[in-house]
Structure 1
């Protein structure tokens, strides 16, 4: 296969040297159909042995071992040397999904890809070799997966309107439901839409007598007769295209406005908001606050747009909200009787501290109580237990005078461990209650 591809590329080079078209051609949108064969056997043999063994023992899959199908293709030129291509193909195979026992029955395998063809030559040549790469997806009997196709190909052009496309790809399966395989195809594509319009270059203007700068404006009407300019500016140039002639422009290389004699509106604080619209023109800010900085009402270094507690100062790492732990409250001391949501006596003492902090020190903040467990038991049971434990903490705080509408609960079960569940110490850390403060 490698020898065949190399030979085709060499032949393409010789043909292109003799049969090049006259000018570059950016490929118009084209649709086509292709016929292909999927080779699952060769990659499987390579994985079982090695590439060198497959080549040396001539174990490359025969034509009879391929799974054949057909596809629809759409192409469009991005640049003279890059084309976009997308293909939807279908074949009927007994797809070798990992860890699935084959039942010997074929099913429809749909494969879609979106690729970029990097052409070695432009489309002004009849024959163009290219490299391709992209992404794709597959579906077979309810198995959905992702693939990464890479390959080589040859494009043969017919009068800028139709193309013969031959390519070989290696399709790498990147999910457990996909399998590596070779993909070899041949197909035709034809342009759609209107043909390219031939750009007509108008003839040069007739020379005008007494026009020294040759700008089309006679000297008698030209305010700048020795420098080519614009008719709208009486024959004077305007390098920055701001509508102000260079002779009257104090900033001829930078677009501006007449109010500032051709210079741009100043931006004193360099925040991207010009002084005419900037309410804080001496302090850098943002456009949505008319050039002023994003406010920080509690002066805690977290601006109000990102501050969960904009009126109460708190550290950046806690979203601008105060941390209950800084008030001698230890959330890790909240424990429960094993397998239940009942609070221990030590936990109640710690929650008494939390109630005093919430009632006296921070009477307006709200708290989300999140329950967590280790991985002992079933996930469903652990989630239910974590919700009940969070509810027990909320009920105790309400009992101690904290308004119920300030408290919310959530249970995550074993989903968010903070330590290794493989040992008792890690399990103990994972059996916890966390408090998230907001305003």
Structure 2
């Protein structure tokens, strides 16, 4: 039930932002942009966090080393809703051994395709060079003949290069919503550039 309310809240937020956008002129609203991101999946640390909690996982030094995480590539579309609120649609492809809950994964790696939509609530508008942000959204994935759903929740940092390009650093805890979806930590580092003519800020 909590998950239903959360998804409903995201949809209400997007709807309200759209209504506000039609009523106000935002001077520092992000222009449409296309991004490419290098990503890392960490299933093991997310499993430990769900079992023993975040603090115990950190204190025990049990977080997965970067070299043992599973890499991927992502493409994204970003656009502004208000000065402080952006949305992003992202596709990530990665060859992984997916750890299905209560069942063994595959011995060989297969393509994990993930598509999600999220909103970024920025502390500062794009008038500023650097802005931290919170993100939340909904997503779906396919792996071999399996399909599932998840909620990406996270935080990030945006670096603005003259309102033409953006460096995006992002960490998410992707919560499995469907029964076959595993929790995972998702890291990404990417660059997004404006498409079309840019407005002067």
TM-score, scaled to structure 2: 0.83
Which residue in 2 is equivalent to 1:61?
64
Measure the CA separation in 2 of the matches of 1:32 and 1:174.
Answer: 26
Q: 1:80 aligns to what?
A: 83
Q: CA RMSD in A?
A: 1.6
- Aligned in 2, Cα 1:122/1:50: closer, same or farther, shift over 3 Å? closer
Number of aligned positions between the proteins = 176
Cα offset, 1:197, TM superposition: 5.6
Structure 1's unaligned 5+ residue stretches are: 1-22, 199-439
Q: 2:194 aligns with which of 191, 195, 201?
A: 191
Deviation at 1:103, TM superposition (A): 3.5
> Which whole-Å deviations, capped at 9, do the CAs of 1:265-313 have from their partners, x for residues lacking one?
xxxxxxxxxxxxxxxxxxxxxxxxxxxxxxxxxxxxxxxxxxxxxxxxx
Decide which of 40, 45, 63 is 2:43's aligned counterpart: 40
- For the residue of structure 1 that corresponds to 2:56, the secondary structure is helix
Alignment of 1:26-37 (within 5 A): 26-37=29-40
Q: How far apart in 1 are the matches of 2:186 and 2:105?
A: 22
1:49 to 45, 52, 76: 52
Cα contact 1:24–1:122 (8 A) shared by 2: no
In the alignment, what sits opposite 2:128?
125
Residue number in structure 1 paired with 2:3: none
Structure with the greater alpha carbon radius of gyration: 1
Deviations 1:226-265 (A, max 9, x none): xxxxxxxxxxxxxxxxxxxxxxxxxxxxxxxxxxxxxxxx
1:153 matched residue in structure 2: 156
1:401 corresponding residue in structure 2 = none
User: Are the aligned partners of 1:115 and 1:135 in contact in 2 as well (CA < 8 Å)?
Assistant: yes
The equivalent position to 1:25 in structure 2, one of 20, 24, 28, is 28
5+ residue gaps, structure 2: 1-25
Aligned residue number for residue 169 of structure 1:
172
SS at match of 1:43: helix
Alignment of 1:103 onto 2:106: yes
Q: Equivalences for 1:268-279 in 2 at 5 Å?
A: none
- Aligned match of 2:138: 135
Tell me how far apart the structure 2 counterparts of residues 119 and 51 of structure 1 sit (CA, whole Å). 25
Instruction: State the distance in 1 between where 2:36 and 2:144 align.
Output: 24
Normalising by structure 1, we get a TM-score of 0.39
Q: 8 Å contact 1:80–1:122 — kept in the other structure?
A: yes
Question: Over residues 180-209 of structure 1, what are the superposed CA-to-partner deviations in whole Å (9 max), with x where a residue is unaligned?
Answer: 0000100000000112168xxxxxxxxxxx
More strand by share: 2
